[in-house]
Structure 1
C-alpha cells in the first residue's frame, strides 16, 4: 500500500476523497478526463476492486460520468455537489464535537471566535 494512504478509514474512501479533493480544488474541472482505474491502481499500489469501489461511488453520486471505451470524466456541477456534501459533513464531524468540548471547557462564543481568528490561515 502507498504511503499516501493511511489506516484511519477504508482505502476506497480515501481514493474517492482523493479524486473529490482534485475536483474541489479545481485540479480537475467539468468534463476533464479522470485518471483511469488502472492508473490509480498503479499510483496507489492497491487492488483494482478497491479503486473501482471508490470511483463507482462518485459515479453514483453524479460527480463522475463514464464514456464507454473512452474513460471517466468530471460531471457538470460536480464541484458544487461535493462542496454541499462536505459542508453538511463538516457540522457533524467537526463543529458539533468542537462545540461539545468547548462547553466542557466553559468557553464562550467570543473565546472560540478569538481562537479561530488566531489560528485561521490567510487565503
Structure 2
C-alpha cells in the first residue's frame, strides 16, 4: 500500500492524516482501538520509527490515548478536535488564497457564489 503515500508531505504526517481521516469519517470511533504500529508498518511498508512518530503526534494532540500492553485508542472528543483543526487549515490553505485571487480578478461575492453553485452541477 505504499502507493497511498506521496512526496508532498513527510510520510509520518501522511500516516497521522490517514488515521485522522478514519476518525473524522468515523471508520474508527471514540474509544476504538487503532491498528497497531506493526500493522501500519506492514500496511504501508514503511519504517517503524516513521509510524511511531505519526502516532505519537496524535497522542500529543489529545487524539489518541494508550492503554499499556493493550494498544492505542481514540480519545473522547477526538473527532471534534480534528474537525476544528481541519476547518482552520481549510480557511488558511484554501479559502484565503482563493479569496485573494478572486479579489485580483475583481470577482464579487455573488460571482463566487455563482461559481460554487455551478460547480455543484458538474
TM-score normalised per structure 1: 0.94
Aligned: 1:79 with 2:79: yes
Aligned: 1:41 with 2:41: yes
The secondary structure found in structure 2 opposite 1:3 is helix
Structure 2: stretches of 5+ with no match in the other structure: none
RMSD (CA atoms): 1.2
In structure 2, distance between residues paired with 1:114 and 1:14 = 34
Q: Please list every run of at least 4 consecutive aligned residues from structure 1 whose deviation after the TM superposition is greater than 2 angstroms.
A: none
Matches within 5 A, 1:1-123: 2-120=2-120
The structural deviation recorded for 1:86 is 0.7
**CA 1:108–1:81 in structure 2 vs 1: closer, same or farther (change >3 Å)?**
same
- Provide TM-score, normalisation by structure 2: 0.95
SS of 1:57's equivalent? helix
d(CA) in 2 for partners of 1:21, 1:31: 16
Alignment: residue pair count: 121
